[in-house]
Amino acid sequence: MTPRNLTPTRPPSAPGTPTALSATGLRKHYGRALALDGFDLEIARGTVHGLLGPNGAGKTTAVRCLTTLSSIDEGAATIDGIDVRQHPALVRERIGLVGQFHAVDEALTARQNLVLFARLSGLSKVRARSRADELLESFQLTDAADRAVSGFSGGMRRRLDISAGLVLTPAMLFLDEPTTGLDPRGRATVWQAVREIAAAGTTVLLTTQYLDEADQLASRISVMDHGRVVAEGSPSELKRRLGGDRVDAVIADAALLAQAADVIGRVAAAAASVDPDTRTITVEVADGAKALTPIVRELDLAGIAIDDLALRRPTLDEVFLHLTGQPGAADAAQQPAHEEAR
Amino acid sequence: MTTTTITHAPGETRDRRPNAVREGWLIAGRDVLHWVREPWGLIFGLAFNVMLLLMFGFLFGGAIDVPGGGDYIAFLLPGMFALTMLFGLESTMTAMAEDAKRGITDRFRSLPLSSASVALGRAIADLASSALSLGVLMLGGLLIGWRPTTGPAEIVLAVVLLLWLRFALLWLGIYLGLSFRGAGATTAVQVLVWPIGFLSTVFVSAETMPGWLGTVAEWNPVSATATATRELFGNPTGATSGWLAENAVLAASVWPLVITLVFLPLAAAAYRGLRR
């Protein structure tokens, strides 16, 4: 299920524009709360940029301000070289927006939705129809084209939602948490769609709460917290700063925790942390899945039984811990009660 | 996963410049699609008006005398027409609030549309649905013996005044729908429309009410339109004396103008306020 054979309605971007999007020092107040507090962002043309952050970091506010849905209090922003504050109407001609909500008309069919949005974007009746057919086919919705959207699954709605943002091939596509609430299959479909949209020349800004999603899709990632970008880089740069994957080992016998931490720490050649409440030992490993076998073998030789063993990416909280030296907004209240063990 | 063959087609772009009238029609066309796809809401709305008509015409009507004489059915019908325009307020408000809540309004706002298109679309769709309600009620009225007794010019003017009131209430509805989006606000308007509708000369003449209440009813914009339409259709007005009896058409022209002058800017401000 991939968008294919999708012909852009026009060249996605005016040639000669150096950056697709540039924002400097954006500020946005909601009452006394500061939703954006000196937000800076620079996105090169034709790339996928991930905007990563916990709930309440200001991701959606940033997208609303950049897409002209909300006014900007302070700062400057351009999209495709056009000033967002001075020429919102021109900016709207060059962007596509897929918000967090399924902004399609439930009572209409998929085709009726797309034809309506295409005609409102300025296409003639004939071209709006052929564009709708094209989008429906690209997003594998042809079979459901004439059914009411109210009967669609979450993944189908999301696909329709994304295709509605592409009626005029945008220079810049904004995807605000496009996979939130989707099952793994729906997520994979959306990921593939994003890759192909970017391959066709559209620049994509994608907000997400999931590190692996940004990792999969984005060539650069900005990490956002408290209304500003706190770190930026390619996924590998950020990962290098974060260290590698983590292995979580749940030890069957709590009495053997210290001994197990010792074994695991020695195998991984890193400090292992112990959480006595969950009998979990966590260690950073450099070589991913290859680290699992020696850990299992050494624990077995030492006669230590394990209930569970898992390899995982650093969590968003760990990202924040690393990048800012403090827990992210999502988890500010509960500091992990880990003890360091050698 | 299949391979992609996405190619560029340089030079292609939009076919039409932003144009509020074209976009307004397109947005109104969405309501027409709603009526076709889910006709029950529209049908029940129309049936409700006919039910009210029959209830007042036959159930209560026998007990109501029209001051100055005349048939109650002939008195009632123009009142029902005006009341239907007032009821339209609910649908405007609900439609605006629902679209804003579901993100449809944001979708429209992210498209390169003229700023007036969304309101214009609402206006066209709601005037069309109210005109349809009016047509059905007139047909029902003709079936139970209501007859306009004047010429075509007066009849056309009566219909224009009715839709003029509906047009004014559009802006009130858009303003309320954008400003108070909670489910409670819609319910509040649905409930408040009733006393406003009844505190008028729609069902009974103001002259049968206690003095102060009669004054309130006479100054109700719905009464102005009801009385003016009665006059223009040549039906009994139930108003034998007083300022409204003398100047009904003027009042029915000025009231909607006042409502529009107040609420059109407020509605526009509420729409712009979405950018906050």
Cβ neighbors of A21 (< 8 A, separation 6 or more) are A41, A42, A43, A49, A66, A77, A78, A79, A80, A172, A203, A205
Give per-residue pLDDT as tens, A252-263: 988 889 999 999
- What digits encode the pLDDT tens for the residues A177-201? 998 888 888 888 889 889 988 998 8
pTM of the model: 0.81
How far is the C-alpha of A99 from the C-alpha of B108, rounded, in Å?
12
User: What size, in residues, is chain B?
Assistant: 276
C-alpha A204, offset from chain centre: 11
Contact: B275, A71; criterion CB under 8 Å: yes
Least CB–CB distance from A67: residue in B6, B23, B110 = B110
Q: How would residue A211 be classed by pLDDT, with cut points 50, 70 and 90?
A: confident
Q: Confirm or reject contact between A106 and chain B (CB < 8 A).
A: yes
For A143, counting Cβ atoms within 10 Å of its Cβ (0-12 exposed, 13-18 middle, 19+ buried), the class is: exposed
CA distance A170 to chain B (A): 11
Confidence band of A146 (pLDDT split at 50, 70, 90):
very high
Q: Is B6 part of a structural domain of the chain? A: no
Fold assignment, A244-341: Alpha-Beta Plaits (3.30.70)
Q: What is the pLDDT of residues A325-334, one digit of tens each?
A: 555 444 433 3
Whether B14 is in a domain gets the answer no
For the cut 50, the answer to whether the pLDDT of residue A9 exceeds it is yes
Task: Give residue-wise pLDDT tens across range A40-77.
Answer: 999 999 999 999 988 888 999 999 999 999 999 999 99
User: What's the whole-number average pLDDT of chain A?
Assistant: 85
Q: How long a stretch of residues is chain A?
A: 342
Asked if A7 is an interface residue toward chain B (Cβ–Cβ < 8 A), one would say yes
Are A50 and A231 within 8 A, CB to CB? no
Tokens of B43: 């049908």
Averaged pLDDT, groups of 10, chain B, 276 residues long: 33 70 95 91 88 86 77 92 94 91 90 90 96 94 92 95 97 92 78 87 85 86 94 87 84 96 95 87
pLDDT of residue B8: 32
Beta bridge partners of A224: A229
In this prediction, residue A320 has a pLDDT band, given cuts at 50, 70 and 90, of low
Whether residue B33 lies inside any domain: the answer is yes
Phi and psi at A225, nearest 5°, equal -155, 140
- Of 3.30.1490.190, 3.40.50.300, 2.40.100.10, 3.30.43.10, which CATH number belongs to A19-233? 3.40.50.300
How far is residue A104 CA from its own chain's centroid?
22
Residue A144 tokens read as: 């459901």
**Residue A140, both tokens:** 């594998």
- Lowest-pLDDT range of A111-115, A304-308, B205-209, B237-241: B237-241
The values of phi and psi at residue B33, to 5°, are -60, -40
- What is this model's ipTM? 0.85
Residue B162 to residue B157: CA distance in whole angstroms = 9
**Which of B8, B30, B106 is facing A105, going by the closest CB pair?**
B30
Contact A122, B26 (CB under 8 A): no
Residue B165 CB coordination number (10 Å): 27
The tally of CA atoms less than 13 A away on the side-chain side of residue A163 is 33
**What pLDDT score was predicted for residue B9?**
34
Contact (CB<8Å) A2/B110: no
Q: Which domain holds residue B204?
A: 20-273
Question: CA neighbours within 13 Å on the CB side: how many for B14?
Answer: 21
- For chain A, the structural domain boundaries read 19-233, 244-341
Residue B133 maps to a domain: yes
Q: Which of residues 73-102 of A touch B (CB under 8 A)?
A: 89, 92-93, 95-97, 99, 101-102
Least confident of A17-26, A136-145, A236-245: A236-245
Higher pLDDT, A127 or A322: A127
B5 and A127: CB-CB below 8 Å?
Answer: no
B245, part of any domain: yes
pLDDT score, position A331: 40
Contact assessment for residue A281 and residue A251, using Cβ atoms and an 8 Å cutoff? yes
Domain count, chain B: 1
Which of A6, A120, A131, A138 is the best mutation test for B, with the most CBs of B within 10 A? A120
Flag whether B243 is in a domain.
yes
Chain B residue closest to A73 (CA)?
B276
Q: What is the pLDDT of residue A243?
A: 66
